[in-house]
Chain A
Amino acid sequence: MDTETSWAATSPALARWRAIPLGRRRQLLSVVLLALALAFPFTGVNPSHVDAAANAYTYVLLALGLNIVVGFAGLLDLGYAAFFAIGAYTYGAAASFQLKPAWSEAWAPLVWLGQVSRVPVDGQPDIVQLHFSFWFMLLVGALICAVFGVLFGAPTLRLRGDYLAIVTLGFGEIVPVLALNLEGLTNGAMGLPGVRTPRLFGFDFGFSPLPYYFLGLGLVALAVVVSLRLQESRVGRAWMAIREDELAAGAMGVSHVHYKLLAFAMGAAVGGLAGVFYVAKLTTATPDMFRFPVSVMILVMVVLGGMGSVRGVVIAALVLSFLQSTILQELTGYVNALGRQIGSGWLAKLQLINSLELIFGVILVLMMLFRREGLFPSVRRVSALTREQQAALPSRGTTVTLSWADPKPAGASPRPLLEIEGLTKRFGGVAAADSIDLTVRAGEILSVIGPNGSGKTTLFNLITGLAPRDAGVIRLEGEVISGLRAHEIVQRGVARTFQNIRLFNNLSVLENMLVGEHTRLRAGPLGAIFRPPRVREEERRAVESALEVLDLFGNRLIPRLDHPVYGLSYANRRRTEIARAIMTRPKLLLLDEPAAGMNPAETLELMDLVKALRTLGITIVLIEHKLDVVMDVSDRVVVLDHGVKIAEGKPVQVRNDEKVIEAYLGRRRRAA
């Protein structure tokens, strides 16, 4: 930070640039880059370079599409070229001489629309020639690919990362083999014959690279805007939350099925766009254009640029495409000339293009060993902390308010908040919960204690739906919640923290908080992309709400709003996790050893907060090992041992309970 500021100080121009707000700076940069890209073909470059650039845009599109799947949602797809193929063959088959169905009157409306023609054949029935509009097929290709994305993605939902990769690899292999074997549809290894070039208002794109250059640029610009907007939206945050910790994402109300399928569909749709564009430009398609090495090449682009970094992926895809199409050829010329000069036959004949895949392999290995975040990782601007902020002291007795809180005096509600009956869970022969009956009253602080392995965390897992129960019923405000999925239980008002903190480590404090708000926001992918006023408003309110919750922790978290949570201290990560749980606006908050790893002063501060939350109407169930804390803060205490509830009552009663002492200290030998 220091070097940057001193440099800025010496350069007034840079200082002025930095004074412009970030969003405005980005807009200015985008306009400049777009203007440069638009001017590129008119700078007197060789037309072959314009052609190379148009092809490069195809790969940028593919890389951006794969980035949605791999970078945002963290799903390693090794068969991504399959969608490139499906898009290409969709347009290819709908606008070439490949399919020649027999004429029937059913085709008449399409003739009227100008999408097909009736062609007479000598001595045989007439046939239909398809020439569907490129623009229409661009949409259709993207939609068909999205459907295939869901079809290929659905079987992988329950699989772990590496198995998922293999299944996608399998689909990626099957698609080109089908393209090779289904000759009626694809013309097999011969390639599609005579795919039509696009037309726009009577202008035929033909075979000059220029129109494709602009079309490709337009598609890339579209994909960039879509990617950036998705990334900074409710949808993007849900993807990143799943990528970072699927279980915790579920506990925050993110449905992993929904968002994984959405990522597969959107990634595939972008691949489909690239396929339609590429086949129209090339006017043919063969199965070899879509095999495993192509999938790997796209993956290399994403890995080199930085998974999840839109900017990095675009740069890497451009560089690697030009490496393939132009740079290696030109270098070969120089190397060969050098070889002739120094009389080295090997150098004189060397063809560098043959080493392209070797270069890909080297890039993959080097990046994984030395720079896994990519060459241009997503920018994260972190504001430096003042000395005062860094040295925050524990503060006690601050008044807390939450605008949405609904404080009710304890015991005002006649009906218990949570009722558990006969809850049982077995792991093999061990009962981690053995017909537990438990009632949590609205507005109380209930502590669950017990020796290690007594089933406390299992109880939380059962209540929050993270572990399936073997028997028993759980009701929240009289409504059965046992059997619901984790994210549905959160939506009904039960939030939790984890014993071993489960934050989304690469996201900032604010982003973690906003994932907590997930169930309260409405924006879907379209809302994320178009950002209508409704979406902007809900995002603004979400940030306000996050700040309000973070304010409960005084100056602990607010100064660190933009910091990635992996860099926070242990206590601050605990606080962030609690804050994230409060973000879901729970009626019932389950805290699993919140004070673990905190010093006594921090623990007291935390317990003040717990009491304050209760005054705001949030009922709290606490698992805690620090018994002095438990005795001080709890209204009631429940003791578990070997999955059985052995005692329940006021702290004082429990402390003197014979069974409890036995469970903790062991059975006393008694005289017979």
Chain B
Amino acid sequence: MSVFDVFLQQLVNGIALGMMYALLALGFTMVYGIIELINFAHFSVFMTGTFFGLLLLNALGYTGSSGALTGLALVGTLLLVFVVTMVATGCLGVVIERVCLRPVRGVSGTAPMITTIGVAFILINTILLTLGPQTKPFPKIIPDRRWLIGQAEISLSQVLLVVVGLVLMMGLNYLVRHTALGKAMRATAQDMDAAKMMGVDVDRVIILTFFLGSALAGAGSLFFGFYYGFTAFYIGYQTGLRAFTSAVLGGIGNIPGAVVGGLLIGLIQSLGGQLLEVKWTDVIIFSILIIVLVFRPAGLFGVQTPQKA
């Protein structure tokens, strides 16, 4: 393989990974945009989503040793798994907001963020204690079909990730830009009190934001499962922090920024892993996180996040 082909291959891998980070980053960014909260529980909602998907697939009779599906069976199963997992993680997000975060909403200082750390620990350890510490194989229901672009190959699962990711993002974009709910969300993000005065049911908007963000994390968790072929209780933290870095890179609170940030982090991970040893990936990504926060807190695109005095 020539240098260019290696680059092309990592580009393909990076974009597929980046779609996953982008979906996760969207959840961070939407919640931050609307209530200025860094939601650590999002990491573990993502992790829990992989288990929702896994349990559903197991219930449908697919296990780690099952063969790949084709045709309508594949499309139908994927559709079902995505819809059910996304609804399940969405509901989990709603429960977290309703039970743990609403009571501390508006409390100044660090209390809300500390609460989300507590929720993250509860979720991770609940999964650990009920389902065990072992790594679980994810059913490989997507056929291992590959195409060559030059010397680089692109797999069917990568194509599917990119297509599903794009569809979900376009759906979100439509929802935020062209519906009444989207308008209410944007208004709440700008000024919660003013939105209340204008008759926006702010509680409902926040609940729905958590639902949407967590549902996207659910989709991201299936990406993880299908892409890496396994899951375990500990996967949320590292992937979640990378996704969070994506959100920061794109300007936290900025929805298109989260997508671009996710793609960038995916590319940095795959290309950086090629240039340096993989063990330095986390150092690179955390350095990016720190440097961006310190020198460009508004993100690469410099779009001002809503500021509340």
Contact = CB atoms under 8 A, between A and B. Distances in A.
Interface stretch (A33-41, A166-174, A640-648): A166-174
Nearest to B36: A162
A506 to B, nearest CB: 11
A365 B118 contact: yes
A663 B109 CA distance: 41
29 contacts: A155-B290, A161-B109, A162-B36, A162-B110, A163-B293, A163-B297, A165-B110, A166-B248, A169-B241, A170-B286, A170-B287, A170-B289, A170-B290, A174-B282, A174-B286, A177-B282, A181-B280, A292-B237, A299-B114, A303-B114, A358-B122, A360-B118, A361-B117, A361-B118, A361-B119, A361-B123, A364-B114, A365-B100, A369-B115
Interface in A307-329: none
A180 B279 contact: yes
A355 B129 contact: yes
Of all A-B residue pairs in the complex, the 10 with the closest CB atoms, nearest first, are A364-B118, A361-B121, A358-B125, A361-B122, A365-B118, A368-B115, A155-B294, A170-B286, A76-B110, A170-B290
A360 B120 CA distance: 10
Main secondary structure of the interface of B (DSSP, over half): helix
B115 A365 contact: yes
A358 B126 contact: yes
A159 interface: yes
Given A357-B121, A358-B125, A365-B100, A173 B286 contact: yes
Given A170-B286, A170-B289, A159 B294 contact: yes
Contact of B118 (A162, A169, A363): A363
Nearest to B123: A361
Contact of A166 (B37, B38, B114, B120): B38
Nearest to A75: B110
A304 B8 CA distance: 52
Contacts of A358: 121-122, 125-126, 129
A64 interface: no
A180 B287 CA distance: 17
A655 interface: no
Given A76-B113, A163-B297, A369 B104 contact: yes
Contacts of A484: none
Contacts, number: 113
A364 B129 contact: no
B220 to A, nearest CB: 20
Classify chain B: how many residues form its interface, as a range: 35 or more
Interface string B67-102: 000000000000000000000000000000000100
Contacts of B248: 166
B226 to A, nearest CB: 27
Interface of A: 70, 74, 76, 78, 155-156, 158-159, 161-163, 165-167, 169-171, 173-174, 177-178, 180-181, 292, 296, 299, 303, 354-355, 357-358, 360-365, 368-369, 372
Contacts of B100: 365, 369
A163 B38 CA distance: 9
Contacts of A163: 293, 297
B59 interface: no
Contacts of B115: 364-365, 368-369
B121 A360 contact: yes
B279 A181 contact: yes
A166 B248 CA distance: 10
Contact of A162 (B38, B121, B283, B287): B38
Interface string B34-69: 001110000000000000000000000000000000
B107 interface: yes
Contact of A174 (B38, B113, B237, B283): B283
